[in-house]
Structure 1
Amino acid sequence: MVQLSPDTDVERWATCSGYHRDDDSIQGFSHTHLSGTGIGDMLDVLVVPTTGPVQLLPGPLADPDQGYRQRFSDEQALPGDYRVTLESGVRAELTVTERTGWHRYTFPQGAGHLLIDLSHLVADRPGARPLIDEASLALDADGTLTGGRRVHRWAKGRRIYFALQVSRPPDRVVLYGDDDVEQPAGATAVEGKRLKAVLHYDDAGAAPLLVRCALSGVDVAGARANLAAEASHWDFDRVRQAARTQWAQTLDCIRVEGGSEDQRTILSSALYHALLAPTLFSDVDGRYVGLDRQVHTLPQGEAAYSTYSLWDTYRAVHPLLTLIAPDRARSLVSDLIRQTQQSAYGPPVWPLQGVETGTMIGWHAVPVLAEAMAKGIVADYAAAWPAIARRSFDFSTADLANSRGRALYDQLGYIPADKVEESVSRTQEYAYDDWAASHIARAAGAEAEARRLVQRSGNWRGVIDPAIGFARPRFADGGWWTPYDPIQLGHMPRPDWRDYTEANGWQATFLNQHDIYGLIAHLGGDAVFEAKLDALFSAPSTLPANAPPDIAGLVGQYAHGNEPDQHAPYLYAYVGAPWKTQAMVRRLCTEMYHNAPHGIIGNDDCGQMSAWFVFSALGLYPVDPVEAAYVFGSPLFDRAQVALGGDRTLVIEARNNAPDHPYVQSVLWRGRPWSRAWIAHAELMRGGTLSFTMGPRPNLDFGRALADRPPSFGKAA
């Protein structure tokens, strides 16, 4: 629940997470953060340890001397452990338990103070005042500072509460209300919108000052209970060691040998990033706020979660969890079923701390559920079906931005570009959600609805023009947009009207994940499709002026820095040319990821970019997670050992591997020859050794036969 971290700025798109490595000053340390998203929020309960006169505003990034922000040095970061020295001379150390943030501040000799800034959060736009409409602070009789706020930034109406204790009682506490008005001496509570508290210490340097702060999405009582349960002592080192140990054990699920030192670091970092979200959102007593904005209590042993970046993470993060952390995957699936039942909109889209943000298109909680079911993760999937059915078939229900055009999609077989924006991408992504939903329908015994969903999952054809071989905007009268240019984003003269979601015609042509053989046939067969893929990766890397920054990491017109076509390098396997997949995946692993602050080519989006690397470095990828199969690529390491849960282990060997040996010559599975260019999840979860023999030149015969190509749409080639 707590992601205690430093904040450097709140005004720029580059600091959606609150932190940017190139900034040279720190505002303070807040308790909640997003990882690699394209929209900012959170940054709750900022703590600023400093000396000198009290400053109540952070000041501009360009001039750290104006406010309470401070230059810094000697910054160190490890999983579960952060340390930095501030220019005031304060040495700051941070660690966490599940629901509490722990701080240790070593002040220089003399006076010092802690500022608690409850008005701090990501600005709505540069220079805008934060959108907080109610907040409270109270100093309880036992010295605990409690409070909360309601925020209307990204997650509109999100509530967060806290309970904070310090290891030494302050010499005095001053509360500040709106407009930084100092409250009367001795005041113990204040309400308003922009609230702050300052804890003064006349001799702050006498001993290290510890802070422990618990959060709750329910109420102050929940925060107090979380604090009591997880902070029964003041031993900072014990908490830090426990956090580091837990992360070390978690990251130990994948061990590798070979590759370069940088590549091994990149893998560990990618695994860490892939495990940062979803985040815990239930209190120790099992209470949490659902997407209906009501307080619920969980069954014993269950947990509620937040921060599901589902448009991104259904592709590789959740499939990675089903492989390396099936128990966590089961817990997340049970939570998503509850959220599907509780939300007025049905299956979640981008839920953040009890609020459906509705960000991006489609309702991609459904693929996560269908994938987990296909992989044998036990849950009550049928319980989610009524809400999924409403989202799929009841066009009288309210549409979030993510699901506009559903009725037209159902009636016409596509979404017309002159009626709804992002129509091409919407049509294809709704089709994928239909494919996933058909599996849930079957589990619920709704056979007729399942057949309808399977049929409708072919609606992607409505926006792929076989005459030109591209995804193309189509109008309500059935006509296509002309003149067509695949690099353009929209047919309308308005710069904000796009026919694709964070993509263009090139990238959207390969958006299909579930009916790949249907797409191949639609575009003219194997040879035409292979040539089209070649053209994708070799086209000029030009983009129109109105392209969003998300379209990044271009190889030709393939955009590795964004999600829509991240499976495209693996599509060569479906036309019997997996050696081209092997070459391109190896290239992407080495060119798009680096052991550096700017080491990921695009937004990590709660771990999706990182999970792509983890899978691809192991030598396989889930092109269609619902198919429960992995397409082979090119293993980056000589040997990888993957803990599968229980006592099962998967070993992946790459014999004769080298930077100039990206091509698979042959494969053994459990000691027997394996001619297929893919492997089923159920097979892999048995454990055993998957052995690749690599070479400098392609083996054109491996994976070429129809019988050896990956399955798609529930059937073989």
Structure 2
Amino acid sequence: MKNIKYIVGLLSVLFIGCQEKPTQKSAEKEAIDYVDPFIGTGGIVHTFPGATTPFSMIQLSPDGDNTGWNWCSGYHYSDTNLKGFSHTHLSGTGWSGLGDIAIMPTTGEIKPQAGSKENPDEGWRSRFSHDDETATPGYYQVKLTDYNVNAELTTGKRVGFHKYTFPESMESHIVFDPTNKIFEQVLNTSITVVSPTEIEGFCQSNGWGGNRHVYFVAKLSRPFDSFNIYKDQERTKTSSEEGKNVVGFANFKTVEGEQIELKVAISAVSVEGARKNLASEGQQSFDQALANAKNEWTEVLDKFEVKGGTEEQKKIFYTGVYHNFIAPNLSMDVDGQYVALGKTMKAEGFTNYSSFSVWDTFRATKPLISFLAPNYSTDFANSLISRYSDAKDHLPLWELCGVDNTCMIGYPSVPVIYDAIIKKTGNIDEKMALAAMDDIAHTNKISSSDGDGGLDEYIKLGYVPAEIPKNVSKTLEYAYEDWVIAQLAKKQGDEKKYKEYMKRSENYKNLFNPERNMFWPKKANGEWFGDIAMDEWEPLQKHWISGNLWAYEYFVPHAMKDFIELKGGQAAFQKDLDKLFTEELNMKGEEHVDISGFVGGYAHGDEPGHANPYLYNYVGQPWKSQAMIRRLMEEMYSDKPDGMINNEDCGQMSAWYIFSAMGFYPVCPGDERYVIGSPLFDEVSMKLANGNTLKVIAENQSEKNVYVQSVTLNGKEIKDAFITQSQIEDGGTLHFVMGDKPNTEWGANPSKLLN
């Protein structure tokens, strides 16, 4: 395949050389033109193609199914029919939820149920073709084949905008379906006709986001001719109904090409809140809302200017930026009211957000956003802190719709908050932040995915014992996050807490088995756990998240110097890393869905190991990191619907690519050093929120020239394999000279990186 690419590329160069003028098509493209929302809608990446704006409350997207691993976002590229367009979706997660308040235009006989994807004719579903489907940032369009209706979608911050172009029909309809949910249980629904142009209602459901309400108010651009409400698939004679299965049909007589627009606002608080949200944006037409959405995305995407590289690489890069600005999501009405932890509150001095996949995104997504859009990082941090300060609860593990579903492990909100603090993104109460961190670091949670957190035992014993699920992974993540808390305590001058958490941050040592020369489960009585079959997934999954021993074996980002010494020193650690990336696994049993994208024992599809390709820098062999990073960018990403190796996870898979393509990565979030890799493009300019621009130039970079020969920052030589947060924020030009052979002298002394 590589040879074919090379030959095609060579022929292309020769052909262009024969032309009088080279094509300017690529040069004319704007950043937004490179974004393809269909990247990630295939495979098991789990993104959605529909319309949204940066960190919006609304993700207006088509639903093909509401169950099954492939439909965590409601849509999969394998779909051949759709059941409607709902207003909330998860982006790239490994679990399902949302799909609130679906709308569907139809013609012909009314069918009071959606029907099945296997037999769409039994309900209001419609077939469609990808040839009649388009998606760009802030916009989605599809031709519904069964009804000859063209559906167009765009969004504001709290309002979804629909435009439906109907054929001539005596029986055109717009279906209002509050029962639509993605892998959630519907508890109650309601529809009320307010006027011939206004509908309101709600759905109460239970799922990954807890027991919650979504209220809606919908405004039509023209009066309906009649309106039917069905309850339990039976037509009623009333204009208002409530029950577990209530759907409504606005009926119209339409002429050929008639367009009906619809605006739908939602609220987690009340119908009144939804109506206020509608009033705040509802004066716009569809085209005005679309223009605003495009402008918002252009502002985000234009923070980067990329030169060089292939068209495919640019599409992956800019689509990755797009995916990093989808979640978390606005979770507050225009009047400041919001729901969190079952309580209705009012935000004071911040905008409230939810959908925090922090276990994934603390690693690279949140550090990236803090550079580009610190106002959002401030609100994210203050939203998380408010769960402690305002709701009188605890920092969440994985929060959806204001509810901590306790998915995953550790206390990953901690590094997200601290990253915003050290980047000085805005007004964050550091004392309250430290109190919230101290609270969660003494609050054991039962993980919905991984059982007892084992925090009480961790505090008492200095490790999570083998009797508790995922004990090695939990110990290592607690230790890192304790280090983060210690840094904030030090910043606040709290010497007592600093010493306490620095001591706790060394707990990783308590699970290092010197005889095995690796982290190993230890029983509560202090004895080492016995042998574990290393070629079977099932026994490993009892002690490591997803069974990914090979990721967690290197997860000590805050104490690499001591960790390397534990492993036998630099030479031994080098050999250990060589083994990680070259020794193929021959495993038995069922592989966890998150384990994918293997290079040796390294699995790029699982976030805990994302820093591992950069670790050669800590032992004076940065050229090995450079080669591996470029290999991963080439092999683990594409511009196809299945364009990533696993769940996109609210931006983290893309953030790894974005940082890596620029040539550096936050190996240890909370540490202000960013470790150098191998830049992918000839030039990338990143416009920082402080007004400065960092320009990264990679002289001579190519598919073969992946090795760093030298680096300068604003003309000053950089000999160490890292740059700092302040250097990035100050901007200027980071200049790489690349070559096709390793420079074994550059970055060969890691002493400053290990301090």
1:464–1:509 CA contact under 8 A, matched in 2: no
Question: Structure 1 residues 515-524 or 543-552, which shifts more?
Answer: 543-552
Of 165, 175, 191, 1:115 maps to 175
TM normalised by structure 2 equals 0.89
Report deviation, 1:269.
Answer: 0.6
Of 160, 170, 183, 2:224 maps to 170
Q: Distance in 2 between matches of 1:431 and 1:399?
A: 18
Of 80, 83, 95, 2:138 maps to 80
Of 206, 217, 233, 1:180 maps to 233
2:338–2:345 CA contact under 8 A, matched in 1: yes
1:113–1:200 CA contact under 8 A, matched in 2: yes
Of 725, 741, 746, 1:697 maps to 741
2:155 corresponds in structure 1 to: 96
Instruction: Tell me which amino acid in the other structure corresponds to 1:326.
Output: P
1:408 corresponds in structure 2 to: 457
Q: Distance in 2 between matches of 1:4 and 1:204?
A: 27
Report deviation, 1:394.
Answer: 5.5
Q: Secondary structure at the match of 1:202?
A: strand
What pairs up with 1:7-46 in 2 under 5 angstroms? 7-46=63-102
1:663–1:694 CA contact under 8 A, matched in 2: yes
Q: Distance in 2 between matches of 1:345 and 1:429?
A: 22
**Is structure 2 residue 737 aligned with structure 1 residue 710?**
no
1:615 corresponds in structure 2 to: 659
Residue 543 and residue 117 in structure 1: after superposition, are their counterparts in 2 closer, same or farther (change >3 A)?
farther
- Per-residue displacement from partner, 1:360-390 (whole Å, max 9, x unpaired)? 1111110111222222334112113333222
1:688 corresponds in structure 2 to: 732
Q: Distance in 1 between matches of 2:750 and 2:657?
A: 28
Residue 402 and residue 437 in structure 1: after superposition, are their counterparts in 2 closer, same or farther (change >3 A)?
farther
Residue 204 and residue 297 in structure 1: after superposition, are their counterparts in 2 closer, same or farther (change >3 A)?
farther
1:49 corresponds in structure 2 to: 105
Q: Distance in 2 between matches of 1:223 and 1:596?
A: 37
- Per-residue displacement from partner, 1:513-555 (whole Å, max 9, x unpaired)? 2111121111111111111111111121333423211111111
- Per-residue displacement from partner, 1:592-651 (whole Å, max 9, x unpaired)? 000100001110010100011000011100000100210000000000010011321000
1:151 corresponds in structure 2 to: 205
Question: Structure 1 residues 519-528 or 443-452, which shifts more?
Answer: 443-452
1:441 corresponds in structure 2 to: 489
Report deviation, 1:415.
Answer: 0.9
2:538–2:589 CA contact under 8 A, matched in 1: no
2:479 corresponds in structure 1 to: 431
1:324–1:643 CA contact under 8 A, matched in 2: yes
Q: Secondary structure at the match of 2:335?
A: coil
Question: Structure 1 residues 130-139 or 557-566, which shifts more?
Answer: 130-139
Of 98, 116, 122, 1:66 maps to 122
Instruction: Tell me which amino acid in the other structure corresponds to 2:575.
Output: A
2:357 corresponds in structure 1 to: 309
2:60–2:153 CA contact under 8 A, matched in 1: yes
2:276 corresponds in structure 1 to: 225
1:257 corresponds in structure 2 to: 307
Q: Secondary structure at the match of 1:140?
A: strand
1:638 corresponds in structure 2 to: 682
The RMSD of aligned alpha carbons is 1.8
Report deviation, 1:568.
Answer: 0.2
1:160 corresponds in structure 2 to: 214
Report deviation, 1:485.
Answer: 3.7
Instruction: Tell me which amino acid in the other structure corresponds to 1:242.
Output: N
What pairs up with 1:554-703 in 2 under 5 angstroms? 554-703=598-747
The number of residue pairs the alignment matches comes to 693
Q: Distance in 2 between matches of 1:224 and 1:284?
A: 10
2:406–2:446 CA contact under 8 A, matched in 1: no
- Per-residue displacement from partner, 1:334-356 (whole Å, max 9, x unpaired)? 22221232455511211111211
Q: Secondary structure at the match of 2:551?
A: helix
Of 379, 395, 399, 1:351 maps to 399
TM normalised by structure 1 equals 0.94
Q: Secondary structure at the match of 2:127?
A: strand
Q: Secondary structure at the match of 2:525?
A: coil
Of 498, 506, 513, 1:450 maps to 498
2:537–2:589 CA contact under 8 A, matched in 1: no
Q: Distance in 2 between matches of 1:158 and 1:532?
A: 49
Q: Secondary structure at the match of 1:513?
A: coil
Unaligned runs of 5+ in 1: 124-129
Instruction: Tell me which amino acid in the other structure corresponds to 1:82.
Output: Y
Q: Distance in 2 between matches of 1:398 and 1:583?
A: 40
Q: Distance in 2 between matches of 1:344 and 1:486?
A: 44
2:408–2:447 CA contact under 8 A, matched in 1: no
Q: Distance in 2 between matches of 1:423 and 1:91?
A: 53
**Is structure 2 residue 372 aligned with structure 1 residue 324?**
yes
Instruction: Tell me which amino acid in the other structure corresponds to 2:248.
Output: A
1:486–1:504 CA contact under 8 A, matched in 2: no
- Per-residue displacement from partner, 1:486-517 (whole Å, max 9, x unpaired)? 4544549xxxx621112332222012221111
Q: Secondary structure at the match of 2:696?
A: strand
Q: Distance in 2 between matches of 1:15 and 1:288?
A: 28
Instruction: Tell me which amino acid in the other structure corresponds to 2:358.
Output: L
Of 433, 436, 439, 1:384 maps to 433
Q: Distance in 1 between matches of 2:537 and 2:506?
A: 23
1:470–1:486 CA contact under 8 A, matched in 2: no
1:276 corresponds in structure 2 to: 326
Residue 404 and residue 670 in structure 1: after superposition, are their counterparts in 2 closer, same or farther (change >3 A)?
same
1:106 corresponds in structure 2 to: 165
Q: Secondary structure at the match of 2:741?
A: coil
Report deviation, 1:199.
Answer: 0.8
Q: Secondary structure at the match of 1:453?
A: helix
2:64–2:82 CA contact under 8 A, matched in 1: yes
Q: Distance in 2 between matches of 1:141 and 1:208?
A: 20
Report deviation, 1:481.
Answer: 2.9
Unaligned runs of 5+ in 2: 1-56
Instruction: Tell me which amino acid in the other structure corresponds to 2:172.
Output: G
